[in-house]
């Protein structure tokens, strides 16, 4: 039985409270699918309500901490260790607005520029992935570890195929090369859950060329505490506010990194 620290309890409680309205709204989204207007505005409103609830809960629990929230004005930290929350109140909004039960709430905690705790909550499955630096990674109350697969050809790798990712420099080349080398590629529609699934061993790797801090903040610490390895697409390990990510176990990461570096070098040689 895992013992949750005070910080993890704050994050978990915040996720649970914000999820109540999201689940209620998600239940109504399916009824809007056939309407001419569609559920898009409804989903945006649900996202805003989640954002408001999370911001209120975190500010109440830790009033001195800063706050970075997707599509909202940031709050500066007054904490001596410059601690700040990095939040995505609804990651996977496209899945949400289409009635697909694969979306999440993501809350990361940064201290003096380093990610030290994270929680990713999937309300539709009641799965809370969480970790704190040095304490391991957990799914609800059970310890989780990344997969130990060594052969890339047997691995399931995730990325995203939306327009921003596809238009990112070299992404189609990555898809072709990694797709040929691996067992399969999936776009599940929630970056945060992709990282959580790597930590739990459900996915073997994940890369993204156009990612934002609130999408990956919680996932970075959860994957690391589960024994995973995370860099940018060139192997850099300083991930704060990077716009790209490559995550896997150490053996698979090495092989994926070799592929991404080869693509990058080839593109540079064409210039």
pLDDT in tens, 52-62: 999 999 999 99
Model pTM score: 0.91
- DSSP letter assigned to residue 210: S
Q: What percent of the chain stands above pLDDT 90?
A: 61
Q: Is 152 helix (H, G, I), strand (E, B) or coil?
A: helix
pLDDT in tens, 150-200: 899 999 999 987 655 555 555 677 788 788 888 899 999 999 999 999 999
pLDDT in tens, 117-142: 999 999 999 999 999 999 999 999 99
Helix (H) or strand (E) holding 8: helix 6-32
- The domains found in the chain, sorted by start residue, are 6-143 (3.30.540.10), 152-270 (3.40.190.80)
Widest distance between CA atoms in the chain: 55
pLDDT in tens, 55-111: 999 999 999 999 999 877 888 999 999 999 999 999 999 999 888 999 999 999 999
pLDDT score at 270: 63
d(CA 232, CA 209): 9
Nearest alpha carbon to residue 115 among 85, 75, 88 = 85
pLDDT in tens, 231-265: 988 888 887 777 889 999 988 999 899 888 877 66
The CA radius of gyration of the chain, in Å to the nearest whole number, is 18
Dihedral in degrees, nearest 10, Cα atoms 53, 13, 109, 95: -60
């Amino acid at each position: 039985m895992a013992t949750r620290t005070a910080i993890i309890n704050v994050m978990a409680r915040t996720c649970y409270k914000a999820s109540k309205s999201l689940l209620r709204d998600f239940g109504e989204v399916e009824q809007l699918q056939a309407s001419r207007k569609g559920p898009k505005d409804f989903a945006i409103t649900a996202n805003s309500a989640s954002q408001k609830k999370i911001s209120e809960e975190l500010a109440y629990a830790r009033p001195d901490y800063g706050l970075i929230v997707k599509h909202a004005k940031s709050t500066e930290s007054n904490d001596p260790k410059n601690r700040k929350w990095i939040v995505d109140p609804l990651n996977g909004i496209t899945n949400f607005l289409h009635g697909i039960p694969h979306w999440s709430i993501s809350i990361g905690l940064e201290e003096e520029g380093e990610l030290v705790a994270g929680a990713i909550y999937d309300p539709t499955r009641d799965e809370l992935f969480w970790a704190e630096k040095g304490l391991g990674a957990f799914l609800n109350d059970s310890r989780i570890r990344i997969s130990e697969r060594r052969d890339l050809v047997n691995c399931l790798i995730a990325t995203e195929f939306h327009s921003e990712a596809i238009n990112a420099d070299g992404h189609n080349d990555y898809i072709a090369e990694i797709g040929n080398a691996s067992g399969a590629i999936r776009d599940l529609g929630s970056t945060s859950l992709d990282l959580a699934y790597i930590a739990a061993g459900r996915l073997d790797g994940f890369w993204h060329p156009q990612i934002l801090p609130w999408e990956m903040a919680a996932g970075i610490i959860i994957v690391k505490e589960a024994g995973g390895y995370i860099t940018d697409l060139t192997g850099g390990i300083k991930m704060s506010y990077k716009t790209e990510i490559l995550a896997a176990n150490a053996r698979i990461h090495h092989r994926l990194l070799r592929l991404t570096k080869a693509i990058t070098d080839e593109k540079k040689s064409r210039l």
